[in-house]
C-alpha cells in the first residue's frame, strides 16, 4: 500500500512539473509588458528581469525559476498589480478569504447532501424520492452563478438581510464577517448538496438491492440495523473519497462566485492578473490550481484504497 | 463413386416431411436505434424537456428576426431600461410597461413628474404603490405632508434632453413634425430663468435653487420659457405647444449650431421610425436583450455542438487506439492525456487567448482551448469499451477470418460501444455551454465583436446593475437555466434509452 501511495505521489509530481514547464514556457513566450518609464520600481524590475534571465533560452530560465523556488521560495515579483511585491506573499494574503467561504459551505453541505441522499434512497419510488431527485437534477443542471444572482437580488437587495459584498478586513471569524459571507456560502452550497445527494442515492439504492442485505435481514437484523451497519458502510466507499476531494477543492474556490460577491480571494487575484497581464501572479495561480486539481485526484485515488478493504487487498497482489 | 459430380436432383431435404421448430421469427426485427427511440419516448420528462429544448432553439433562431432591432444597434440613451411594448403598455395590464419603482417621492418630485406630463403629454406615472403621511413643522405650525411610492414609466420619465442640432437637422425635424404631427422640439428654457440648473432639462417652470417647483397660488406650475427672439436662430415654423402665445423660442443659437430641448421619446420615433419596444428591456450597452439572448444562445448552441463533434471524433479515435493496441502504446497515450487533463481550463483558455487571438481570431482560439482538454473524457470512455470487447470471442472469430486491425476496431468493436458513446455526447453539450458562459461572464474571452453578444456577457452586464435594473440579469438567467435543465434531462433520457441493461425491464 505504501509503495502504491509513494508511486502515485511521485507520478503526480512528475505530471505537475511537466505542466509547470509547459505553462512557464508559454507565459514567458508572451511579449513582456512595458514598464512605466518614470516609476522608481522600473529600474529594479529591469534588473530583476535581467537576473531571471529573460533573454536566455527557456530551459535556462526555467532552471533559474525552479532554483529560486527551491532555495528561496521565490515565486517572482508582481510587475503590474502590486508593483515590486513578492507574489507569494500577495497570494497568501488572498488565500484565507477563499478558504473561509468554501470551508463554511462544505461543513454544512456535505451532511445535508448525504442525509437527503439517504432519505431519497430509503423512500425509493415515493414522492419524497421523486421530489428530491427532481430538485437534485435541476440544481445540478443550472450553473451556480444563476443562484448567486437570485440570492444576491432577493436576500441582499430586496430583503436586505445580508450585505451586498463580502466585508473588507481580515477578521475572518467575527460575526459581521460571517454574516457578509452567508450569500456566497449559499450560492456555493446548492451544487455541493445536489452532488452528494445524487451520489449517495445512486450508491445506496444499489447496495440496498444487493443480496447481503437480504442475508442481513434473514439473520434477524432490523431494517435500521441492516441499513446502518451494512448498507451505509458500503455506500460510503464511494461517497467518502468524494468528501476528501471536496476538502482539497475548497482552497481552489470558485472564480465566478468570488467575482459576483467581491470576495478578495485567489480567484479575484487570478482574474485581475489575467486582465492586467501580471504574468508572475498568473504563473503562481496556474501552479496553484494545477496542484489542487492533481492533489484532489490523488487523495480520492488513495482514499479508495484505505476505505475499501477489497481494493486494499487487491493492490497487494 | 465420384463425390464431386453428384447431380443436383439427387439431393433432398433430410426433414422434408417433418415440422421445423426453428422457423424464422415472424415479428419484424427492431433495430438498435429504433429500440432506443421507443424507450426514449416512454420517458415523459425527457420528452417534455426535448420539446422545451426545441422551443428554446426556435426562440434563438426567431428572436433576432422578430425583434425590431439587430444586435449591432445600440441606443445611447435607453440603457438598462425596463421591458416595454407600447401597445401592451397602453392597455395597463401591469407588465411590459417600462415600469421602474421610485420610492419616497415627496412633493417636489411629484411636481417634477407633473411637469413632464404637462409639457410632453406623456404621463410617466403609471400607478401609486404606497402613500405615506408625515408631519413637518412649517412656520411654527404642524403640517401633514405626503410621500409616495410610484411606478413610473421609465421611457416617459426620461422626458426632455438637450441636444445640439445642425441647421439642416433642425429644418428636417420641423418638416417631419409638420408631416406626422408628433412634436420633438420643445420651447427653449434659459438657465438663468431656472436658477442656473443645468442637469435637469425637464424643468420649464419657476423653481427654487434646489430645483423644486415654485407653483402659483392655485398650485399650477409657472412657465418660464424664453422669449428672447435675438438668440433664437432660424425661424420656427412647426408645431408649438398649446400654451404658447406665439413668442416662445425653440432653439438657442450657439457657435454655428443650435441647442434644443428635444423630447427623446419622439426623437426616437423620428430616428427609428417606430416607438421604442423592448420585450425584455435593454442592457447597459443599449442593446435589445430579447434579441441578445437569441443571438447569444444561437452562438452558444452552435459552438457547443461544434466543440462536441470535434472532441468526440478525436476522443473516439484516441481511445480506440489506446484500447485496441494496449501495452506501451496505451501507457504512453494515457500519460499524455493525464498531463493535459491536469491543466486547469481557465489557464488553457487564457493562454490560448493571449497567444492565438491576434493570429487566428478569438473564436478559433477559444475553440482550441476546448478541444485541447475536452476529448479526454471521451477517450477514456472509448478505451474502456475497447478493453471490454476486444477479448471476446466474436473478435477472435473475426480476426481468424482475416479482418484487419482497422476493420476490427471500427466494424466490430466500435459499434458495440456506440450506445454509451452517444449518451456522453448529449451530456457534453450542456457542459460546453456552461464553461463557455462562465468564460465570457468573467471576461476572459470577449466574443461581443464576433457574435454581437453572448449569454455570459449579458449576465455580467446585468449583474453590474442588479439593484436598479434586475430585468437585465433575470431574463438571460432564466433562459440559461432552462436551457441547461432541458439539455441535461434530454441527455439523461438518451442515456437510459441507450443503456442496454435497462432494456426489457419496462416492456
Express each pLDDT in B437-471 by its tens digit: 988 998 888 888 888 888 999 998 888 888 888 88
Q: Tell me which of B315 and A74 has the higher pLDDT.
A: B315
Length of chain A: 317
Instruction: Report how far residue B506's alpha carbon sits from residue B44's, in angstroms, rounded to the nearest whole number.
Output: 14
Give residues with Cβ within 8 angstroms of B282, minimum separation 6: B75, B78, B79, B80, B81, B288, B289, B472
Q: Which residues in chain A touch residue B351, judged by CB atoms under 8 angstroms apart?
A: 23, 26-27
Q: Are A29 and B355 a contacting pair at CB < 8 A?
A: yes
Strand B160-165 vs strand B257-263: parallel, antiparallel, or unpaired? antiparallel
Instruction: Report how far residue B312's alpha carbon sits from residue B127's, in angstroms, rounded to the nearest whole number.
Output: 56
Q: How confident is the model at residue A314 (pLDDT cuts 50, 70, 90)?
A: low
Strand B257-263 vs strand B185-186: parallel, antiparallel, or unpaired? antiparallel
Rounded mean pLDDT of chain B? Answer: 84
What torsion, rounded to 10 degrees, do the Cα atoms A29, A33, A38, A41 define? -70
Range 186-225 of B in CB contact (< 8 A) with A: none
Our CA angle for A59, A63, A64, nearest 5°, is 120
B266 within some domain:
yes
- When pLDDT is averaged across residues A267-279 and rounded to a whole number, the result is 87
Question: Which residues of chain A are at the B interface, by a Cβ-Cβ cutoff of 8 Å?
Answer: 15-16, 18-19, 22-23, 26-27, 29-30, 137-138, 140-143, 145-146, 149-150, 152-153, 157, 164, 255-256, 259-260, 270-271, 274-275, 277, 282, 285-286, 289-290, 293-294
**% of chain A beyond a pLDDT of 70:** 95
Q: Which of A16, A26, A145 sits opposite B355 (nearest CB)?
A: A26
B377 within some domain:
yes
Instruction: Report how far residue B71's alpha carbon sits from residue A204's, in angstroms, rounded to the nearest whole number.
Output: 50
B405 within some domain:
yes
Q: Are B444 and A142 a contacting pair at CB < 8 A?
A: no
CA–CA distance from B30 to each of B35, B37, B38, B495 (Å)?
6, 11, 10, 19
Q: Are B343 and A150 a contacting pair at CB < 8 A?
A: no
pLDDT attached to residue B25: 63
Q: Which of B350, B437, B463 sits opposite A260 (nearest CB)?
A: B463
Our CA angle for B414, B419, B423, nearest 5°, is 125
Instruction: Report how far residue B336's alpha carbon sits from residue B355's, in angstroms, rounded to the nearest whole number.
Output: 22
pLDDT attached to residue B58: 93
Q: Which residues in chain B touch residue A140, judged by CB atoms under 8 angstroms apart?
A: 488
CA distance to partner chain B, nearest, from residue A246 (Å) = 16
What digits encode the pLDDT tens for the residues B181-230? Answer: 888 888 888 887 887 777 788 888 888 877 788 888 777 888 888 888 87
Instruction: Report how far residue B146's alpha carbon sits from residue B106's, in angstroms, rounded to the nearest whole number.
Output: 7
Instruction: For residue A252, give the nearest of A271, A266, A232 by alpha carbon.
Output: A266
pLDDT attached to residue A253: 65
Is B111 found in the same domain as B129? yes
Q: Which range has highest mean pLDDT (A11-25, A205-219, A295-309, B347-361)? A: A11-25
Is B168 found in the same domain as B145? no
Instruction: For residue B295, give the nearest of B455, B501, B438, B150 by alpha carbon.
Output: B455
Q: What is the CATH number of the domain that holds B377?
A: 1.10.3720.10
Backbone φ and ψ of A32, nearest 5°: -70, 140
Q: Which of B441, B481, B492 sits opposite A142 (nearest CB)?
A: B481
B312 within some domain:
yes
Q: How confident is the model at residue A313 (pLDDT cuts 50, 70, 90)?
A: low
**SS3 label, residue B81:** coil
Instruction: Report how far residue B157's alpha carbon sits from residue B115's, in angstroms, rounded to the nearest whole number.
Output: 10
Q: Could you tell me if B366 and B445 are in contact, meaning their C-beta atoms sit under 8 angstroms apart?
A: yes
Kindly state the cell numbers that stand for B477.
Answer: 438567467
Q: How confident is the model at residue B501 (pLDDT cuts 50, 70, 90)?
A: low
* pLDDT of B98 strictly over 70: yes
pLDDT attached to residue A252: 64
Q: Could you tell me if B238 and B178 are in contact, meaning their C-beta atoms sit under 8 angstroms apart?
A: yes
CA distance to partner chain B, nearest, from residue A227 (Å) = 26
pLDDT attached to residue A317: 44
- When pLDDT is averaged across residues B233-244 and rounded to a whole number, the result is 81
B481 within some domain:
yes
Is B153 found in the same domain as B238? no
Render the burial of A279-316: b for 16+ CB within 10 Å, e for the rest.
bbbbbbbbbbbbbbbbbbbbbbbbbbbebbeeeeeeee
Is B382 found in the same domain as B465? yes
Is B95 found in the same domain as B213? no
Q: Which residues in chain A touch residue B468, judged by CB atoms under 8 angstroms apart?
A: none
Q: Are B347 and A286 a contacting pair at CB < 8 A?
A: yes
Say how many CB pairs under 8 Å bridge A and B.
96
Q: Are B466 and A22 a contacting pair at CB < 8 A?
A: no
* pLDDT of B424 strictly over 70: yes
Q: How confident is the model at residue B502 (pLDDT cuts 50, 70, 90)?
A: low
Q: Are A149 and B463 a contacting pair at CB < 8 A?
A: yes
Is B235 found in the same domain as B358? no
Please state at what angle helix B289-325 crosses helix B471-498, rounded to 10 degrees.
Answer: 30
Q: Which of B350, B459, B463 sits opposite A274 (nearest CB)?
A: B350
Is B348 found in the same domain as B485? yes
Q: How confident is the model at residue B1 (pLDDT cuts 50, 70, 90)?
A: low
Q: Could you tell me if B186 and B243 are in contact, meaning their C-beta atoms sit under 8 angstroms apart?
A: no
**% of chain B beyond a pLDDT of 90:** 11
Instruction: Report how far residue B304's alpha carbon sits from residue B316's, in angstroms, rounded to the nearest whole number.
Output: 18
Backbone φ and ψ of B164, nearest 5°: -95, 120
Q: How confident is the model at residue A15 (pLDDT cuts 50, 70, 90)?
A: very high
Q: List the single range of A72-76, A292-296, A309-313, B238-242 with lowest mean pLDDT.
A: A309-313
Residue of A nearest to B347 (CA): A286
What digits encode the pLDDT tens for the residues A117-176? Answer: 999 988 888 898 888 988 998 888 888 888 888 888 888 888 888 887 777 777 777 778
Q: How confident is the model at residue A296 (pLDDT cuts 50, 70, 90)?
A: confident
Instruction: For residue B336, give the nearest of A262, A22, A28 by alpha carbon.
Output: A22
* pLDDT of B362 strictly over 60: yes
Is B320 found in the same domain as B294? yes
Instruction: Report how far residue B291's alpha carbon sits from residue A287's, in angstroms, rounded to the nearest whole number.
Output: 41
What digits encode the pLDDT tens for the residues B294-333? Answer: 999 999 999 999 998 899 889 988 998 988 888 898 889 9
Q: Which of A19, A260, A282 sits opposite B342 (nearest CB)?
A: A19
Q: Are A150 and B477 a contacting pair at CB < 8 A?
A: yes
Domain boundary pick from B216, B241, B272: B272
Q: Tell me which of A253 and B120 has the higher pLDDT.
A: B120
> What's A53's DSSP letter?
T
pLDDT attached to residue A10: 92
Is B391 found in the same domain as B453? yes
Q: How confident is the model at residue B482 (pLDDT cuts 50, 70, 90)?
A: very high
- When pLDDT is averaged across residues A83-112 and rounded to a whole number, the result is 86
CB-count exposure of residue B460 (10 Å: 0-12, 13-18, 19+) = buried
Q: Are A290 and B487 a contacting pair at CB < 8 A?
A: no
Rounded mean pLDDT of chain A? Answer: 84
Give residues with Cβ within 8 angstroms of B303, minimum separation 6: B363, B367, B432, B436
Q: Tell me which of A115 and B138 has the higher pLDDT.
A: A115
Q: Which of B346, B470, B487 sits opposite A153 (nearest CB)?
A: B470
Domain count, chain B: 3
CA–CA distance from A53 to each of A21, A28, A49, A68 (Å)?
16, 11, 6, 12
Domain boundary pick from B108, B131, B157: B157
B256 within some domain:
yes
Q: Which residues in chain B touch residue A142, judged by CB atoms under 8 angstroms apart?
A: 480-481, 484-485
Q: Which of B346, B430, B441 sits opposite A145 (nearest CB)?
A: B441
Instruction: Report how far residue A298's alpha carbon sits from residue A16's, in angstroms, rounded to the nearest whole number.
Output: 12
Domain of residue B121, residue span = 86-157
* pLDDT of B51 strictly over 90: yes
What pTM value is reported for the model? 0.86
Is B298 found in the same domain as B260? no
B304 within some domain:
yes
DSSP B271-298: HHSS---BTT-B-TTS-BHHHHHHHHHH
CA distance to partner chain B, nearest, from residue A153 (Å) = 7
pLDDT attached to residue B506: 43
> What's B28's DSSP letter?
P
**Among A16, A137, A139, A145, the residue to mutate for chain B (most B Cβ within 10 A):** A145
- The answer to whether B54 contacts chain A (CB < 8 Å) is no
Q: Which residues pair with residue B153 across a beta bridge?
A: B99
Instruction: Report how far residue B150's alpha carbon sits from residue B125's, in angstroms, rounded to the nearest whole number.
Output: 7
The domains found in chain A, sorted by start residue, are: 2-87 (no CATH), 91-307 (1.10.3720.10)
Q: Which residues pair with residue B133 across a beta bridge?
A: B146
Q: Which residues in chain B touch residue A27, judged by CB atoms under 8 angstroms apart?
A: 351
- Indicate left, alpha or beta for A104 from its phi (over 0: left) and psi (-120 to 50: alpha): alpha
Q: Which residues in chain A touch residue B437, judged by CB atoms under 8 angstroms apart?
A: 143
- When pLDDT is averaged across residues A13-41 and rounded to a whole number, the result is 83
Our CA angle for A250, A251, A254, nearest 5°, is 70
Is B323 found in the same domain as B230? no
Query: Which helix (H) or strand (E) is B308 found in, with range?
Result: helix B289-325
Q: Which of B343, B441, B444 sits opposite A290 (nearest CB)?
A: B343
Query: Which helix (H) or strand (E) is A215 found in, with range?
Result: helix A211-218
Kindly state the cell numbers that stand for B134.
Answer: 408625515
Domain boundary pick from B157, B182, B212: B157
Q: How confident is the model at residue B505 (pLDDT cuts 50, 70, 90)?
A: very low
Q: Which residues in chain A touch residue B473, judged by CB atoms under 8 angstroms apart?
A: 149, 153
> What's B207's DSSP letter?
B
Is B239 found in the same domain as B95? no
Amino acid at each position: 500500500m505504501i509503495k502504491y501511495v509513494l508511486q502515485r505521489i511521485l507520478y503526480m509530481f512528475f505530471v505537475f512539473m511537466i505542466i509547470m514547464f509547459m505553462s512557464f514556457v508559454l507565459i514567458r513566450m508572451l511579449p513582456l509588458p512595458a514598464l512605466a518609464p518614470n516609476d522608481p520600481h522600473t529600474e529594479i524590475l529591469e534588473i530583476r528581469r535581467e537576473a531571471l534571465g529573460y533573454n536566455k533560452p527557456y530551459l535556462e530560465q526555467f532552471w533559474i525559476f525552479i532554483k529560486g523556488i527551491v532555495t528561496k521560495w521565490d515565486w517572482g515579483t508582481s510587475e503590474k498589480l502590486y508593483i515590486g511585491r513578492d507574489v507569494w506573499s500577495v497570494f497568501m494574503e488572498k488565500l484565507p478569504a477563499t478558504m473561509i467561504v468554501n470551508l463554511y459551505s462544505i461543513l454544512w453541505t456535505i451532511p445535508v447532501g448525504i442525509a437527503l441522499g439517504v432519505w431519497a434512497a430509503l423512500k425509493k419510488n415515493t414522492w419524497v424520492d421523486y421530489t428530491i431527485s427532481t430538485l437534485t437534477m435541476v440544481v445540478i443542471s443550472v450553473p451556480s452563478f444563476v443562484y448567486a444572482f437570485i440570492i444576491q437580488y432577493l436576500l441582499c437587495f430586496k430583503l436586505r438581510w445580508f450585505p451586498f459584498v463580502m466585508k473588507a478586513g481580515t477578521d475572518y471569524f467575527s460575526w459581521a464577517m460571517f454574516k457578509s459571507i452567508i450569500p456566497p456560502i449559499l450560492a456555493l452550497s446548492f451544487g455541493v448538496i445536489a452532488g452528494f445527494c445524487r451520489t449517495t442515492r445512486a450508491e445506496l439504492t444499489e447496495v440496498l438491492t444487493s443480496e447481503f442485505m437480504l442475508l442481513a435481514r434473514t439473520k434477524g437484523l432490523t431494517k435500521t440495523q441492516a441499513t446502518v451497519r451494512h448498507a451505509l458502510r458500503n455506500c460510503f466507499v464511494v461517497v467518502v473519497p468524494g468528501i476528501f476531494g471536496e476538502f482539497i477543492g475548497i482552497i481552489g474556490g470558485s472564480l465566478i462566485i468570488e467575482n459576483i460577491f467581491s470576495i478578495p480571494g485567489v480567484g479575484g487575484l487570478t482574474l485581475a492578473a489575467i486582465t492586467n497581464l501580471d504574468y508572475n501572479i498568473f504563473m503562481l495561480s496556474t501552479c496553484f490550481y494545477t496542484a489542487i486539481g492533481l492533489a484532489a485526484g490523488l487523495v480520492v485515488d488513495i482514499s479508495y484504497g484505505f476505505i475499501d478493504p477489497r481494493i486494499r487487498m487487491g493492490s497487494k497482489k | 463413386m465420384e463425390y464431386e459430380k453428384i447431380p443436383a436432383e439427387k439431393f433432398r431435404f433430410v426433414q422434408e416431411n417433418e415440422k421445423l421448430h426453428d422457423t424464422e421469427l415472424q415479428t419484424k426485427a427492431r433495430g438498435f436505434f429504433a429500440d432506443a427511440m421507443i424507450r426514449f419516448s416512454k420517458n415523459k420528462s425527457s420528452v417534455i424537456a426535448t420539446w422545451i429544448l426545441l422551443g428554446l432553439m426556435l426562440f434563438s433562431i426567431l428572436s433576432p428576426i422578430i425583434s425590431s432591432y439587430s444586435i449591432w444597434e445600440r441606443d445611447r440613451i435607453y440603457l438598462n431600461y425596463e421591458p416595454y411594448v407600447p401597445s401592451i403598455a397602453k392597455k395597463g395590464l401591469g407588465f411590459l410597461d417600462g415600469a421602474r419603482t421610485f420610492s419616497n417621492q415627496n412633493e417636489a418630485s411629484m411636481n417634477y413628474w407633473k411637469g413632464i406630463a404637462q409639457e410632453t403629454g406623456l404621463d410617466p406615472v403609471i400607478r401609486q404603490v404606497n402613500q405615506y403621511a408625515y408631519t413637518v413643522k412649517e412656520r411654527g405650525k404642524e403640517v401633514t405632508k405626503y410621500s409616495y411610492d410610484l411606478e413610473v414609466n421609465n421611457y416617459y420619465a426620461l422626458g426632455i434632453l438637450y441636444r445640439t442640432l445642425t441647421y439642416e437637422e433642425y429644418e428636417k425635424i420641423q418638416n417631419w413634425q409638420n408631416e406626422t404631427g408628433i412634436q420633438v422640439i420643445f420651447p427653449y428654457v434659459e438657465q438663468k430663468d431656472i436658477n442656473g440648473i443645468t442637469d435637469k432639462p425637464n424643468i420649464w417652470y419657476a423653481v427654487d435653487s434646489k430645483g423644486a417647483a415654485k407653483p402659483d397660488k392655485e398650485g399650477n406650475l409657472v412657465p418660464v420659457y424664453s422669449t428672447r427672439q435675438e438668440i433664437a436662430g432660424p425661424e420656427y415654423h412647426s408645431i408649438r405647444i398649446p400654451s404658447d402665445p406665439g413668442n416662445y423660442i425653440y432653439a438657442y443659437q450657439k457657435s454655428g449650431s443650435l441647442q434644443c430641448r428635444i423630447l427623446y421619446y419622439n426623437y426616437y420615433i423620428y430616428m427609428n421610425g417606430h416607438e421604442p419596444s423592448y420585450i425584455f428591456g435593454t442592457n447597459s450597452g443599449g442593446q435589445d436583450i430579447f434579441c441578445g439572448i437569441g443571438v447569444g444562445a444561437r452562438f452558444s448552441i452552435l459552438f457547443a455542438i461544434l466543440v462536441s463533434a470535434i472532441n468526440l471524433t478525436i476522443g473516439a479515435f484516441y481511445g480506440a487506439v489506446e484500447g485496441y493496441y494496449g501495452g506501451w502504446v496505451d501507457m504512453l497515450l494515457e500519460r499524455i492525456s493525464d498531463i493535459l487533463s491536469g491543466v486547469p481550463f481557465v489557464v488553457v483558455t487564457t493562454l490560448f487567448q493571449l497567444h492565438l487571438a491576434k493570429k487566428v481570431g478569438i473564436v478559433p482560439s477559444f475553440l482550441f482551448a476546448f478541444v485541447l482538454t475536452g476529448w479526454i473524457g471521451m477517450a477514456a470512455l472509448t478505451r474502456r469499451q475497447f478493453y471490454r470487447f476486444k477479448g471476446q470471442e466474436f473478435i477472435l472469430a473475426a480476426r481468424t477470418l482475416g479482418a484487419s486491425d482497422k476493420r476490427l476496431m471500427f466494424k466490430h468493436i466500435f459499434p458495440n460501444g456506440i450506445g454509451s458513446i452517444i449518451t456522453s455526447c448529449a451530456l457534453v453539450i450542456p457542459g460546453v455551454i456552461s464553461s463557455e458562459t462562465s468564460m465570457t461572464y468573467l471576461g476572459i474571452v470577449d466574443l461581443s465583436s464576433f457574435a454581437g453578444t453572448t449569454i455570459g456577457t449579458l449576465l455580467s452586464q446585468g449583474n453590474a446593475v442588479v439593484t436598479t435594473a434586475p430585468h437585465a440579469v433575470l431574463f438571460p438567467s432564466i433562459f440559461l437555466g432552462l436551457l441547461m435543465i432541458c439539455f441535461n434531462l434530454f441527455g439523461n433520457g438518451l442515456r437510459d434509452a441507450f443503456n442496454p441493461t435497462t432494456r426489457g425491464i419496462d416492456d
